[in-house]
Structure 1
Amino acid sequence: MAAADAPPIVFVHGTRFSAGQWSPQLAALQADFPVTAVDLPGHGARSAQPWSLAAASEVIAAAVDSLDRGPALVVGHSLGGYAALEFARRRPELLRGLVLAGASASTSGAWALPYRWVAGLVPRIPADRLTRWNDRLLRRLYPPEVVAATIRGGYAFHTLPAAWGEVLGRFDAGAMRHVDAPVLILNGEKDSVFRAGEKQFARAHPHARVELIPRARHLANFDDPEAFTGAVRRFALHLPERSP
């Protein structure tokens, strides 16, 4: 059972995935923390809902409220990390800590060009073909117990253009000034693209630090679930206590 002051934890998935991305972390942490994972608008069980960062922030806020333990540690991966930054700006009273995983690169400038190209290309490829490609890739790279829930949850290809269309050009290290809570920037060592700005993001916040998962790539929580979960656990346990 979770300790009385164990911070609640809300996990926010990355591009095209769903709450199933976090099944290894939920299983490992649920005995010690109040924990949940969300489906962002346009993803998973919310597949029919239109995407917006404002709506994503409200989904995260509702998840925090559902745990009924006050402000939460929010863990966001990739798209979910940028959504978590928007949540931190809009609902700072609900944030006790923030883990940015694979989301410490500026989404402006030349970095964004290939992602704009992909966002434009995805709608031209049949969704069933993209699904087969993704299923094969995940099954080839990872054991079933790590990715089965992600595969069951399906993929939100139809939401990708709107989601990245809103995120691109919107976030850089300056977004950290809106985060009124400690921050862990948690990246895969080999995720050279999405950790490109990690030093700038860390310098932009007075209580931020960087931790790397050795040999892991962008999907660090799949590449080394135990190391990823351990980093989240340590960070959670060292968060300042809630104000009365």
Structure 2
Amino acid sequence: MTAADAPPIVFVHGTRLSAGQWSPQLAALGEEFPVAAVDLPGHGARAAEPWSLDAATQVIAGAVDSLDRGPAVVVGHSLGGYAALEFARRRPELLRGLVLAGASASTRGAWAAPYRFVAGLVPRIPADRLARWNDWMLRRLYPPRVVEATIRAGYAFHTLPDAWGEVLGRFDAGAMRHVAAPVLILNGEKDSVFRSGERDFARAHPDARVELIPRARHLANFDDPEAFSDAVRRFARQLAAAG
């Protein structure tokens, strides 16, 4: 694959996080591919912007355009995965491939109930207390090179109720029918909740496959940054080889 063949890659972060989530992947893949990571509305540098899926798709589209290399591989984690599904439906001409990470569970029905409860509970807890707990958890579980960019960027707890409120009840495997590009469903092996519908999601698309990161949980790109980056790299190279 030549530099001219390398597809651009846009990374979309998960709930409460920011573009900093992807610092290991940007470092690992940036020499081979044009890469960018976005802050969704209400998160990171866009903390003051109101959340909406419509605005989220516009942010992703802006990142694809900024790379100026045509349609992109979009990698979305959790909330970012569902935003990427919406982007795939609205802007198919900008999508070369889709990586759904921790976002292959239906957000409809009984599954959504505990998440609605959490979305209602979070605003009642002081944000600084939540931030300290998140900092402690990330530093306990992961080395600084993996999480310090995320910690520095802070957390978007104030956006969580609106973001989950719009996503919950909206997505199931049927959303895959609106994706015109190849799909890699990339989950942590131990992420039992968010990989619960992976087979249904894969069956709903003619060119989708599932790959698991061994022993990884929901934050698979933190649990094993090298394996996660390698999976994205192989997927992007396959798309380039296919033309």
Q: Shorter-normalised TM-score: what interval?
A: over 0.9
Which residue identity does 2:154 align to in structure 1?
A: G
The CA distance in 2 between the partners of 1:184 and 1:29, in whole Å, is 17
Q: Distance in 2 between matches of 1:220 and 1:214?
A: 9
Give SS of 1:11's match.
strand
Secondary structure at the counterpart of residue 184 of structure 2: strand
Q: How far apart in 2 are the matches of 1:8 and 1:21?
A: 18
State the match for 2:200 in structure 1: 200
Amino acid at match of 2:23: S
Name the amino acid aligned to 1:157: F
Aligned to 2:162: 162
Partner Cα distance (2:106, 2:19) in 1: 25
- What is residue 75 of structure 1 aligned with on the other side? 75
Q: How many residues align?
A: 243
Paired with 1:242 and 1:160, the residues of 2 have a C-alpha distance of 39
Partner of 1:20: 20
2: CA distance between counterparts of 1:242 and 1:105?
29
1:239 alignment partner, SS class:
helix
Could you tell me the TM-score, scaled by structure 2's length?
Answer: 0.98
Aligned match of 1:107: 107
Q: Shift of the alpha carbon at 1:119? A: 0.1
Per-residue CA deviation, residues 168-205 of structure 1 (Å, 9 max, x unaligned), is 00000000000000000000000000000000000000
Q: Measure how far apart 1:240 and its partner are.
A: 5.1
Please state how far the C-alpha of 1:242 moved relative to its aligned partner: 8.4
Gapped runs of 5+ residues in structure 1? none
Displacement after TM superposition at 1:122 (Å): 0.2
Identity %: 85
State the shift of 1:7 in Å: 0.4
Aligned match of 2:119: 119
1:33 Cα deviation (Å)?
A: 0.2
Equivalent residue, structure 1, for 2:231: 231
SS of 1:41 mapped into structure 2: coil
2:84 corresponds in structure 1 to 84
Residues 214/242 of structure 1: CA separation in 2 closer, same or farther (3 Å cut): closer
CA contact (8 A) 2:6 2:240 kept: no
How does the TM-score come out when normalised to structure 1?
0.98
Query: 2-side partners of 1:79 and 1:128: how far apart?
Result: 22
**Structure 1 residue 55, shift from structure 2 partner:** 0.3
Post-superposition, which runs of at least 4 consecutive aligned residues in structure 1 deviate over 4 A?
A: 240-243
- Mapped contact 2:5–2:240 kept (Cα < 8 A): no
Q: Measure, in 1, the Cα distance between the counterparts of 2:9 and 2:115.
A: 29
Which sections of structure 2, spanning at least 5 residues, go unmatched?
none
